[in-house]
Chain A
């Protein structure tokens, strides 16, 4: 398999003080959908803008299809399509005009009509951009990225602020692009999006990658298979985290929003032991749920914070 994106020891410091990217390594294979997952301010957008050739890194190396931006910018711009975070397209142009305009920039563009059909924008072809809904505008932004017939698509938080139906429509568009052989680099702070779309992902925090792998690997490696969440009350006795940790099958314990959360690899052994411990101490069990661990849990486990926290 060949490499679509490779960066080594990428750093970006603003004004010599703020370190937005602090030594980041990535390798994305051709045909992969790769996710950069992290909270706001983690350095995702800075990283993606460096990879897109829009921002110079303070140090480090970037290669797109084994070419460097400094020497092959024009060639690389023909190969990539980008959808920036919060781009507002010209409101007084129609959908058709906007896509035609972007098609004219490329040497081998796709047919605008075909792109509009793929994006479910045909009905809105003659509507001005200013009259579109949020989801339609976002699909148009992705259409301007796809009309150049790119091999690599950069999507910076493409579904932020969209309703669930619009999000699913965009996911289908991304999957179709990937099925046609395209490579996708996606940033998001939606865990379900990353889990559903990404073949592999890296979790970024404070400008560094703190974990990488397939969604399943990350969950398995970091959290175990199941999360047991519970809350107790009505007892003089309290049970420390260390004691919960000693229950059979428990790999880690943390507190989250008033709940005690156990990462359990063997819930069939953990739950009876948990219930016995509650009974033994005379506590009342106010809440008990078990669920599959998610990437959100991975992030909380690694950083102690939630992805959507500011």
Chain B
């Protein structure tokens, strides 16, 4: 037996499988810390939807009619917020980390690649929770929003888990964009998608063509799911919206897969 054999034997006897829980926990913790310490990310993803809510929901709201605008905007700006957290966290974050060699360094370690992605999804979910809870709190304290406890829990859950399709979209962007162009590319997708999905202006106030177009856009479906929690959705069954979001997730993952294969074509498994 060669002298290198003990090296490998020792390795295998060190404990078989890597401690996946420990790896994931550390990765998720530091992913969150990295993001929250980056003012441009934390401010734009958390403060922007809150600022919009305060501006258009509280300060510029003329309270005409019966439409519960402050409740409506929690769902739509909540959707806007979780979408931003996922797109910037995944799309821009991953592109920059690829460009810096950070991702390559991790790939060269025994860390399972999915721990990296799971940590990014978790971070997006935590940001989604912070955004939706903040909007709810402000709405309740300053906007006269009245929701049952189960409605609050359900709305936050919908928004938090609703970040998944946008994480998939961010992943696809992350594999194709260059570090310098990623923020611009994300904004080019994020802002028009938000407007066309009725997140800033209720979809029924948009031109007919846009109203129809909105039904093809994932943020529309997530916002409708959140609005249905409080009974002010604008049509379509829950299942239709869920299917649309699952379909969008699969489509974005398919695109990401192409980008991944492009990268992996040169890498070992």
With A66-B2, A92-B34 as contacts: A106 and B109 at CB distance below 8 Å: yes
Interface string of A152-195 (1 = CB under 8 A from B): 00000000000000000000000000000000000000000000
A77 touching B110 by the CB < 8 A rule? Answer: yes
A56 touching B30 by the CB < 8 A rule? Answer: no
Binds B, one of A93-101, A114-122, A215-223, A280-288: A93-101
With A4-B4, A75-B11 as contacts: A90 and B30 at CB distance below 8 Å: yes
- Smallest CB separation, A134 vs chain B (Å): 15
- Expressed in whole angstroms, the Cα–Cα distance for A240 and B106 within the complex equals 57
Interface string of B197-215 (1 = CB under 8 A from A): 0000000000000000000
Instruction: Say what secondary structure dominates the interface of chain A.
Output: loop
Q: For B18, give its contact among A69, A88, A90, A107 (CB under 8 Å).
A: A107
- Smallest CB separation, B32 vs chain A (Å): 11
Q: How many B residues face the partner with a CB closer than 8 A? A: 39
- Expressed in whole angstroms, the Cα–Cα distance for A70 and B268 within the complex equals 7
Q: For A148, give its contact among B4, B25, B102, B109 (CB under 8 Å).
A: B109
Residue B3 at the chain A interface, CB threshold 8 Å: yes
Residue A80 at the chain B interface, CB threshold 8 Å: yes
A53 touching B109 by the CB < 8 A rule? Answer: no
Residue A74 at the chain B interface, CB threshold 8 Å: yes
Q: How many A residues face the partner with a CB closer than 8 A? A: 45
With A53-B108, A106-B109 as contacts: A65 and B8 at CB distance below 8 Å: yes
A97 touching B33 by the CB < 8 A rule? Answer: yes
Within 8 A of B (CB), among A53-89: 53-56, 65-67, 69-70, 72-75, 77-80, 82, 84, 86-89
Hey, which chain A residues are within 8 Å of B34, CB to CB? Answer: 90, 92-93
Hey, which chain A residues are within 8 Å of B30, CB to CB? Answer: 90, 93, 97, 101
Hey, which chain B residues are within 8 Å of A87, CB to CB? Answer: 100-102, 104-105
B108 touching A107 by the CB < 8 A rule? Answer: no
A105 touching B266 by the CB < 8 A rule? Answer: no
A102 touching B268 by the CB < 8 A rule? Answer: no
Hey, which chain B residues are within 8 Å of A234, CB to CB? Answer: none
Within 8 A of A (CB), among B18-55: 18-19, 22-23, 25-27, 30, 33-34, 37-38
With A65-B7, A79-B7 as contacts: A107 and B268 at CB distance below 8 Å: no
Hey, which chain B residues are within 8 Å of A53, CB to CB? Answer: 108, 268
Residue A7 at the chain B interface, CB threshold 8 Å: no
Which interface residue of B38, B101, B107 has the most chain A CB atoms within 10 A?
A: B101
Residue A133 at the chain B interface, CB threshold 8 Å: no
Residue A11 at the chain B interface, CB threshold 8 Å: no
B100 touching A66 by the CB < 8 A rule? Answer: no
Q: For A56, give its contact among B37, B105, B266 (CB under 8 Å).
A: B266
Hey, which chain A residues are within 8 Å of B109, CB to CB? Answer: 77, 102, 105-106, 148
Residue B269 at the chain A interface, CB threshold 8 Å: yes
Residue B15 at the chain A interface, CB threshold 8 Å: yes
Q: Identify the closest chain B residue to A141 (Cβ).
A: B105
A79 touching B101 by the CB < 8 A rule? Answer: no
Q: For A92, give its contact among B19, B22, B33 (CB under 8 Å).
A: B33
B37 touching A73 by the CB < 8 A rule? Answer: no
Hey, which chain A residues are within 8 Å of B265, CB to CB? Answer: 56
Hey, which chain A residues are within 8 Å of B268, CB to CB? Answer: 53-54, 56, 69-70, 73
Hey, which chain A residues are within 8 Å of B11, CB to CB? Answer: 75, 78-79, 107-108
- Expressed in whole angstroms, the Cα–Cα distance for A22 and B12 within the complex equals 35
26 chain-A/chain-B pairs, Cβ below 8 angstroms:
A2-B3, A2-B4, A3-B4, A53-B108, A56-B266, A56-B268, A73-B268, A79-B7, A82-B105, A82-B108, A87-B100, A90-B30, A90-B34, A90-B97, A92-B33, A92-B38, A97-B30, A104-B19, A104-B26, A104-B111, A105-B110, A106-B18, A106-B109, A106-B110, A107-B18, A107-B19
Residues of B within 8 A of A (CB): 2-5, 7-8, 11-12, 14-15, 18-19, 22-23, 25-27, 30, 33-34, 37-38, 97, 100-102, 104-111, 265-269
Residues of A within 8 A of B (CB): 1-4, 30, 52-56, 65-67, 69-70, 72-75, 77-80, 82, 84, 86-90, 92-93, 97, 100-102, 104-108, 128, 144, 148, 151
